Structure 1
Amino acid sequence: MKALHIKGDDSKEMNSNPVRPAGDNLELTPTAWTILGFLSLQPRSGYEIREAAKRSVGFFWGISDGQLYPQLKVLEALQLIEAPNGIEGPRSRQRWQLTDTGREALRNWLSAPSAPIQIRDENLVKFLFASQEGPELLIHLIKERRTSFEWFLGAIQGVEPGSSWDRPGDDSSLQGPSMLKRYGLEFAEMVLQWCDQAEAALHSSALQQKQMKKE
């Protein structure tokens, strides 16, 4: 199996490294692996990849135009993707497909160990330190979190796995997207339940403190 590495999406870092053939020690950015993943489902243009990412991996794996289109050029130079009909028209509308080498690289990446999960959540960091300012601030942060996850839940509910594919996917190809949607729904519902419980606990605690002061 080829040694696979993920490097940052910083454009300066990407452009400072020479293009290597798709062999050992293949180094690709997270965006590049995402592109290969979407192209493994069907040929797509850069625009179609971007729109598909917004409906799916955009919730947990950021991808932007500034990263997407330069990475398409890198993947083409590495012979991991190709334009089946040649380069024609605006590159944003040019359709790409995986080469055999690209599919092999993706298969190796999918089976390689994943990087440790890292969650960056400013709301939770604030929550850690807010109690010294009183329960009102904690309740404010909970309400802020609830609003965010109510939006997230609605967005996930609106996702229809496979709806943007050129042809309906078979049951096996839809298993991953469908299970991922269920993961998102249950995660959002769990956080919203926590928000309700945490806010209720804070209100109950504040009420008890008021009663104790009266006594």
Structure 2
Amino acid sequence: MSVDEWADLTPTARTILGFVAQHPRSGYDIREAARRSVSYFWGVSDGQLYPQLKLLAELGLIESPQEDPGARSKSVWHITPAGRAALTKWIRSPSAPLRMRDENLVKMMFAAELEPAEVLRLVDERRKSFEWFAKNVASPGPAQSWQADQKLGSRTTSELLHEYGKQHTENALAWCDQVEEALRGIANDRA
């Protein structure tokens, strides 16, 4: 099977392949790593995780050399050379344009005809959401529990993404401050 035939992998499969490429992992380890990292900007569906692992194995992109094939054994997945080639091809391909789904911003757009107090409530809702996010992003950084050999090759980008999340949150909270100040000015002018 050629690398081109793997172009139709699901986003979940590609993400799994990336996690296994960092170092061998079980399905549970992949799920936990995804929850700690990419879940803030990319989904890894629990319902698709194990079927996608099976598909990646059938395609020869990952393998699990189990020592004990018993029913309760934990499969630890390793990337194959074909899997590394597929991952590299995907990383080098152009990314899809950024799309955000943000209900709070849509509500603000339609709240323009309401009183500034209602928009302020929406801004406060947004602030609370980003304050929650800031607490989670500030929690232990990426790869803190990894061994030194596991950190090689992925630590730099993981730390950069962690920093991006922190800066994005700070910018969003600063925007909330600016909007609140402007809306309070409008409310005072109307009073």
Q: Same fold (TM over 0.5)?
A: yes
Instruction: Tell me which residue corresponds to 1:11.
Output: none
1:173 Cα deviation after fit: 2.9
The answer to whether the Cα contact below 8 Å between 2:22 and 2:153 also exists between their aligned partners in 1 is no
**Structure 1 residues 186 and 128, CA, compared in 2 at 3 Å: closer, same or farther?**
same
SS at 1:25's partner residue?
helix
Instruction: Tell me which residue corresponds to 1:182.
Output: 163
Instruction: Tell me which residue corresponds to 1:152.
Output: 133
Instruction: Tell me which residue corresponds to 2:56.
Output: 75
Instruction: Tell me which residue corresponds to 1:36.
Output: 17
CA distance in 1, matches of 2:25, 2:152: 21
TM-score by length of 1: 0.82
CA distance in 2, matches of 1:171, 1:189: 29
2:151 is equivalent to residue 203 of structure 1 = no
Instruction: Tell me which residue corresponds to 1:133.
Output: 114
The answer to whether the Cα contact below 8 Å between 2:66 and 2:75 also exists between their aligned partners in 1 is no
Structure-to-structure mapping, 1:1-215, within 5 angstroms? 21-26=1-6, 27-85=8-66, 87-90=69-72, 93-170=74-151, 172-210=153-191
The answer to whether the Cα contact below 8 Å between 1:37 and 1:106 also exists between their aligned partners in 2 is yes
Q: What code does the residue aligned with 2:160 have?
A: M
CA distance in 1, matches of 2:72, 2:118: 51
**What is the identity percentage for the equivalent residue pairs of Structure 1 and Structure 2?**
48
Q: What code does the residue aligned with 1:53 have?
A: A
Tell me the number of residue pairs that the alignment of Structure 1 and Structure 2 aligns.
189
Q: What code does the residue aligned with 1:34 have?
A: T
CA distance in 2, matches of 1:157, 1:168: 24
Q: What code does the residue aligned with 1:113 have?
A: P
The answer to whether the Cα contact below 8 Å between 1:31 and 1:63 also exists between their aligned partners in 2 is yes
The answer to whether the Cα contact below 8 Å between 1:75 and 1:81 also exists between their aligned partners in 2 is yes
Q: Mark the runs of 5 or more structure 1 residues left unpaired by the alignment.
A: 1-20, 211-215
1:128 Cα deviation after fit: 0.6
Higher relative contact order (CA 8 A, sep 6+): 2
Q: Mark the runs of 5 or more structure 2 residues left unpaired by the alignment.
A: none
Q: What code does the residue aligned with 1:38 have?
A: F
TM-score by length of 2: 0.92
**Structure 1 residues 204 and 168, CA, compared in 2 at 3 Å: closer, same or farther?**
farther
* Larger helix share, 1 or 2: 2
What are the superposed Cα offsets for residues 34-89 of structure 1, whole Å, 9 maximum, x if unpaired? 00111111100111100000111000001121011110011011010000226444
Q: What code does the residue aligned with 2:131 have?
A: E
The answer to whether the Cα contact below 8 Å between 1:88 and 1:94 also exists between their aligned partners in 2 is no
CA distance in 1, matches of 2:44, 2:153: 26
Instruction: Tell me which residue corresponds to 1:7.
Output: none
